[in-house]
């Protein structure tokens, strides 16, 4: 059987002297594992398409082993190779790709998740947002596309509209819901319940509802971003029940940049 689809190479490994095995996140077929017989051969017609973080249209053949397809040909579209020149951006791109890979099962909307990853890679490569901003937006939007968006319209206990001027707003990591200060002591949560300042609330609401090309286009101050990033990461990883292997690498660069003595406060 022959298959044609667009996809982004998110992992590569050697296969023999000249070949590669690629993990490709596709536009509408989820994750595909494919063998590229001449993937390491510069003279191969599809050599450029077999590089990490390259987006192409692939032509596959599915033989007796449907788990691993064979690449027959590929048409290059664009590369995010620039990301690999900055190890911090590269580690964040790897984190986002890994989350997409483990999310694309069942009935999730593959095309939108694929577009989100391309948009995030483009933003990482071309824009100058703080990396935690890009990461937090990606996390909240991915959760939204997967149908597990945070529910932040009202207190999950008393129904009070939040945020309100009279009450602090808290975010329950275990349930992905918000809670007012009065109700917080009444409910025993199975996870952390974190204070959610109004700026963090507005950021999360914006990312959930924004038009897809505008999701990154807002600004926060540093304190707001730190809390937004913390809540977004804890929320998504809790819902997915998965800690990406690439996360510690990204964190290691973040903590390496902190002034001495502040490392512990960020844990
Ligand atoms: Zn309440």
- Find the 178 Cα to ligand 1 centroid distance in Å: 9
- Find the 185 Cα to ligand 1 centroid distance in Å: 10
Domain map (residue ranges) of the chain: 2-79, 83-150+191-266
- Find the 192 Cα to ligand 1 centroid distance in Å: 17
pLDDT of 152 higher than 50: yes
- Find the 84 Cα to ligand 1 centroid distance in Å: 46
pTM for this model (two decimals): 0.91
Output the CA torsion sign for 172, 178, 181, 184: negative
Phi, psi at 139, each rounded to 5°: -65, -50
- Find the 170 Cα to ligand 1 centroid distance in Å: 10
pLDDT of 205 higher than 60: yes
Q: Which pLDDT score is estimated for 265?
A: 42
- Find the 147 Cα to ligand 1 centroid distance in Å: 24
Q: Which pLDDT score is estimated for 162?
A: 85
CATH topology assigned to domain 83-150+191-266? de novo design (two linked rop proteins) (1.20.1440)
108 vs 241, residue with greater confidence: 241
pLDDT of 264 higher than 50: no
**Which tens digits make up the pLDDT trace of 85-97?**
999 999 999 999 9
- Find the 169 Cα to ligand 1 centroid distance in Å: 9
- Find the 143 Cα to ligand 1 centroid distance in Å: 24
For the chain, the average pLDDT equals 90
- Find the 232 Cα to ligand 1 centroid distance in Å: 22
Sheet arrangement for strand 177-180: 177-180, 169-172, 193-195
Cα–Cα distance for residue pair 146/81, rounded to 1 Å: 27
- Find the 31 Cα to ligand 1 centroid distance in Å: 42
Q: pLDDT grade, residue 210 (50/70/90)? A: very high
- CATH code matching the domain that covers 2-79, chosen among 3.40.50.1980, 2.40.50.140, 3.40.50.2000, 3.30.420.40: 2.40.50.140
Residue pair 6/26 in contact by the 8 Å Cβ criterion: yes
**Which tens digits make up the pLDDT trace of 164-184?**
777 789 999 999 999 999 999
CA dihedral 33, 35, 38, 44 (to 10 degrees): -50
Summarize the confidence of residues 138-146 as an average pLDDT.
96
Cα–Cα distance for residue pair 143/149, rounded to 1 Å: 5
């Amino acid at each position: 059987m022959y298959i044609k689809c667009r996809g982004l190479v998110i992992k590569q490994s050697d296969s023999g002297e000249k070949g590669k095995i690629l993990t490709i996140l596709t536009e509408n077929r989820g994750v595909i594992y494919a063998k590229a017989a001449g993937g390491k051969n510069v003279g191969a017609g599809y050599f450029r398409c077999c590089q990490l973080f390259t987006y192409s249209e692939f032509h596959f053949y599915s033989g007796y082993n449907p788990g691993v397809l064979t690449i027959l040909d590929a048409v290059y579209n664009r590369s995010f190779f620039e990301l690999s020149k900055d190890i911090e951006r590269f580690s964040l791109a790897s984190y986002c790709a890994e989350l997409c890979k483990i999310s694309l099962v069942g009935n999730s909307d593959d095309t939108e998740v694929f577009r989100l990853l391309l948009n995030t890679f483009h933003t990482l490569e071309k824009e100058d947002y703080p990396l935690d901003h890009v990461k937090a937006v990606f996390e909240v939007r991915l959760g939204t596309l997967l149908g597990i968006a945070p529910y932040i319209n009202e207190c999950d206990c008393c129904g009070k509209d939040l945020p309100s001027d009279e009450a602090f707003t808290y975010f329950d990591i275990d349930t992905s819901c918000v809670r007012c200060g009065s109700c917080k002591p009444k409910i025993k949560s199975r996870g952390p319940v974190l204070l959610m300042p109004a700026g963090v609330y507005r950021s999360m609401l914006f990312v959930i509802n924004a038009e897809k090309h505008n999701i990154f286009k807002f600004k926060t101050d540093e304190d707001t971003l730190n809390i937004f990033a913390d809540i977004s990461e804890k929320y998504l990883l809790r819902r997915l029940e998965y800690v990406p292997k690439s996360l510690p690498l990204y964190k290691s660069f973040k903590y390496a940049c902190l002034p001495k003595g502040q490392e512990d406060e960020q844990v």
